[in-house]
Structure 1
C-alpha cells in the first residue's frame, strides 16, 4: 500500500471516529467533553515550546496550526489542511473543541497565565480559527498548570 493511501485511510479513520462515533456517543455534550479532554491530553503530554505545540498538531492529525494574530491578552490561530477540509466536507457540524482545549492548556502551561479558548469554523476558507483568551491578571500557581 502506498504512503498516500495510508495517509488517506488515516484521515478517514480520524474523521469516522471524531465526527461520527464520538458525536453519537457524546450527543449535545460533545463540545464540553472534548474541550476538557483536550486540556487533559495537554496536561498529560506537556511541551517545552510553542513550536512543539504547532508540530504536535500535525503529528496528532489535528491539522496544520498557524498563529495569525497576537495581542496582549489574545492569540488567534488558523487550523487548516487536508484533514480539516475533509472534516468540514463530511460533517455539517464537526467539533474542534478537542483541539481548542489542547491548545488552550498548552499555552496556559507555557505562559503560566489562565487561558480559555473558543473555535470558529470558516467554511468558505475551509479552515477553523482558534482564539485563546489569556488573563495576565490571573497568573496560576506553578503547581496548578
Structure 2
C-alpha cells in the first residue's frame, strides 16, 4: 500500500532515489527484486532523499543546516541585544526562514514500525502494469 502510493504520487522521485541510493532500476522490480524489498528500501531512504523532500519540505535541510541557521540567529540576537534598539525592544532580528516552517504543504505518509509491519503482511496486489510496475 505504501509502495503503491509512493509510486503513484512521487514516481520520478522514487525512481531517482532507488537508482542513486541502491543502484536499482525500478523497472526491474518484481523481476530482480520483490515489491516487499523495494518497499523496505523506500521506507529506509535517507531524509535528504528526493522522495522525502517532495513529501515534506522540512526534510530539505539536514541537522547541520538547521544548526548553522540557529548559530546565525543567535549571533544576530547577541548583536541586537547590545544595541539601542534592544533597550527599547524594537527591530528585533527575525530568524532565518526554515524549509517547511509552519504546517507541511503535503499530507505525510509516515507509518510507525507496527503499522509498517501490518502493511507488509497484507496480501500484495499487482500495481499499474501500464506504468511498468509489478
TM-score by length of 1: 0.22
User: Larger strand proportion, structure 1 or 2?
Assistant: 1
- Rg (Cα) greater in structure: 2
**Alignment TM-score, normalising by the size of structure 2:** 0.23
